[in-house]
Each structure stands twice: as C-alpha cells, then as structure tokens.
Amino acid sequence: MTIYAHPCRNTRVFLEFFAFTTIVQGQTDSPAGKMHIPLEIFLKRAKNDLMEDGTASISTMDLEQPTRYSLVRQLGEGGMGEVYEAIQHGADGFVKRVAIKLIRNWVAEKPEFLQNFVGEAKLVAQLVHTNIVQTYQFGHSNGSPFIAMEYIQGTDLLQMLHVHAARELRLPVELAVFIASRVCRGLAYAHTRIDANGESLGIVHRDISPPNIMISCEGDVKITDFGMAKALNLMLDGEGEIVMGKACYMSPEQARGERTDGRSDLFSAGVVLSEMLIGANIFAAQDPSEVIQRILDMEIPDVRDLCPEVGEDLSRILKRAMARDLSQRYGNAGEILVDLERFIYSAGYGPTSETLAEYVRDYVKTEQASISPTGGTALLKSK
C-alpha cells in the first residue's frame, strides 16, 4: 500500500517576507532572493495588506503534492499495532526515513479509543525535544489510523536490558542514571507545555517503561508513545480482557484508577531506574492482580541491598521518586533531573551522549542486527 496524505492544505506562507529577509541576508542565489523586492515596496504592501482589525492579510498556497510512505520492514509489534521502518517520498526525488506505527483494526474500531487517540496525537505533535521521539503526521491507511514518527537508529531499553541479562551483565550505575536523567529531561519539557492562552496542556505519558525508551547509536535517549496509554485507558483487547498497560511500571494512583499528573511518570521513571540498576522489576509477578497489589502495598526494597554499587545519595533519589505518598514524591521532573545530574556530575565530569553511544555499539545489538527484515518493500495507500 501507499499512504497518501494532504497534511498542509491552505498552509500560510509568508512569501514576500521570506523574500525580503533573504535579500537582507545576502542570499540572492535563492529563488526568493531573485525576486529583489525593495524595502519600501515591501513595507507599502505590508501596510496595504492590513485588515480592518489590524491583522495582516497573508496569501495562502495549496500544497497539493500528497505525502507517500513505503514500508521497508517491520521493527516490532504489540497488542495494539505494528511499527515499521518506512521511507517518506516527496517531490523531485525527496526521501526521508521515518517510522510508521499502524494501529490494529480491532483497536481502531473502538470509537472511544479513536477519539482519545486523535486528541492525544494532536497534543504530542507539539512536542519537539531532543529527548522525545517526534511525531510528524497522523493519517489513515485502509481505515486504520497510523502515525508517522521520527526514526531512531538504535535500540530500546527493553532490548538493552535483555541483552545484559543474557550476558549476565548489569548497566554501569553512571550510565543507568544518565539514561534516567535524559528521560526526566524529556518529561520536564512535556509536563510544562502550555497552549496559546498560557494554560497547561496537562500532558502525562502514563507508560514510562523500557519499551518506550529509545537509545540511538549516537547516544541520544528518547521517549516514545506519548499519549498512547491515555488513548488505551480501559480499552479491551481482542479477547475481551481490559488493557492495563505495563502494570509493573504503574504508579500507585494509576493502579487505583485515579486521576494522574506528571508525578505519576516520575514514579514510573524511578521503577525503570531501579530495574536498570538491579536487573529486575521490583513489582513483577505472574498474576497482574498481584502486580497491582505489590505496587500498592509491598515494602519497596532499598536498592543498595540488591546493588552494592548504589550509594546513599542515589538510594535517597530512588526512595523519593517511588514514594507512594504524593506529598513525599518529587513534585516535578525538573527536581529529580537536578538531583540525578548532580549525582553523576558531582565530581566535575561524568557520562555523556558519546559515552552512551560507545557503550551501545560495544554491548548492545542495534535494531539492524537484531530485527530481520520482513522481505521486500510494501507500499501503503490511504484514502
């Protein structure tokens, strides 16, 4: 199939302003620069184009060239959908590698899911940050919704942890804290986004877990699947079972079905950090109901007892991140970010993205080596 989309109809384009600024900057070799609009003419036109209310009358341009994606290979799949490496095709041979998440038909047929999914997609499309996988486009293919996203050449944290477990290794403490700090940096950005009126967008991830933390071959740590957990809230799977997400990373308030805010993500980030340090999830159990019970009631162990390399300072950070009492937990992601960075850089130096990149190349199979192609290129069409 080939996905065709018209994401930019009636896009407002400041043609004359661009031409003018191009001339000022001396870039007369560009098409706009060759227009040579004198300043006085530009200002006169700008004045004449003012509406009665004082706003500018700006010409629009219809961009009729559709966006087309070709699927190259499957990168992963889950109960809700599949993720593919894809190529975005544009005019004059333009190509860009992206990731496409296709939502399964039985999920897309749920009206409550689709409404939540589209609403969340609109919100997360506004998130542009180095520690968040960027959303490029939302569309439909053969009746099923899809999202075009930033493609990450690398691995996810779950795969990294599996590789370490298979080799009977654990992540170095400093790298584990570095990864957690980059996650919290992305959360700090997302949690504080506001709309045009200065009101909080109220963005909460609700599913901070190893599969949703990507690590690129360049050492960048990126959160993916913002908004998916909310869209899936109280959804049923194909066999009628309630979808609870990755329960063993839930905060207590999330496990109780209560309203959550950014502090819920911080609890989950603490669980992920503890797993990186000790090599296991502290709440994991075979029975989902037992997992929930552990999150709500189990005494949270001191990570120092399970990982001797963890000192008192890091143990204190983990205890505060995973405090069941919201008044005792970190109030926002910026607070825990400061503590994590102070921990790894207190000596004046510490791990960087390049440090992590070298580690990934040495110890973790990248997706190219670990995920076999599906065989051939599929083409997708959307209506």
Residue 44 has what pLDDT?
52
**Mean pLDDT lowest among 29-33, 137-141, 176-180:** 29-33
**Mean pLDDT (whole number) for 174-197:** 95
Q: Which two tokens stand for residue 275?
A: 């797993």
Q: Which two tokens stand for residue 130?
A: 């180095």
SS3 for 89-104 is ECHHHCEEEEEEEEEC
- How many angstroms separate the CA atoms of 68 and 90, rounded? 7
- How many angstroms separate the CA atoms of 339 and 363, rounded? 28
**Mean pLDDT lowest among 78-92, 246-260, 275-289, 326-340:** 78-92
Summarised one tens digit per residue, pLDDT across range 14-36 is 333 333 343 344 444 444 444 45
**Among all chains, which residue has been given the structure tokens 């870039």?**
27
CB atoms within 10 A of CB 376: 8
Instruction: Specify the amino acid at residue 353.
Output: S
Summarised one tens digit per residue, pLDDT across range 230-273 is 555 544 444 344 344 478 999 999 999 888 999 999 999 999 99
**Mean pLDDT (whole number) for 85-114:** 85
Which CATH code is given to the segment(s) 67-152+370-379? Answer: 3.30.200.20
> 116, 231 in Cβ contact below 8 A?
yes
Residue 145 has what pLDDT?
85
348: region left, alpha or beta (phi > 0 left; psi from -120 to 50 alpha): left
Which residue pairs, CB below 8 angstroms and at least 24 apart, start in 280-286? 281/248, 281/249, 283/247, 283/248, 283/249, 284/248, 285/248
Which of 303 and 114 is assigned the larger pLDDT?
Answer: 303
Options 3.40.50.620, 1.10.260.40, 1.10.510.10, 1.10.287.180; which CATH number does 155-367 get?
1.10.510.10
Find the length of the chain: 383
Q: Which two tokens stand for residue 374?
A: 């599906």
- How many angstroms separate the CA atoms of 105 and 80, rounded? 9
Nearest in space to 177 (alpha carbons), one of 41, 352, 372: 352
Instruction: Specify the amino acid at residue 361.
Output: R
**Residue-wise burial string across 201-231, b where 16 or more C-beta atoms lie within 10 A, e elsewhere:** eebbbbbbbbbbbbbbbebbbbbbbbbbbbb
- How many angstroms separate the CA atoms of 222 and 206, rounded? 15
Q: What are phi and psi of 155, to 5 degrees?
A: -145, 170
pLDDT band at 229 (very low <50, low <70, confident <90, very high): low
Q: What percent of the chain has pLDDT over 90?
A: 48
Nearest in space to 273 (alpha carbons), one of 315, 229, 328, 220: 315
Residue 152 has what pLDDT?
93
Question: What is the torsional sign of CA 316, 318, 319, 324?
Answer: positive
- Residue 15's SS3 state is helix
- How many angstroms separate the CA atoms of 316 and 25, rounded? 53
Instruction: Specify the amino acid at residue 268.
Output: S
Within this chain, domains 67-152+370-379 and 155-367 share the same CATH topology: no
CA 292 to chain centre: 26
**Among all chains, which residue has been given the structure tokens 């293919």?**
141
Q: Which two tokens stand for residue 110?
A: 């749920």
Is 207 among the residues known to form the active site? yes
Residue 49 has what pLDDT?
52
Tell me which of 49, 53, 207, 265 is the catalytic residue.
207
Domain ranges of the chain: 67-152+370-379, 155-367
As a whole number, the mean pLDDT across the chain is 78
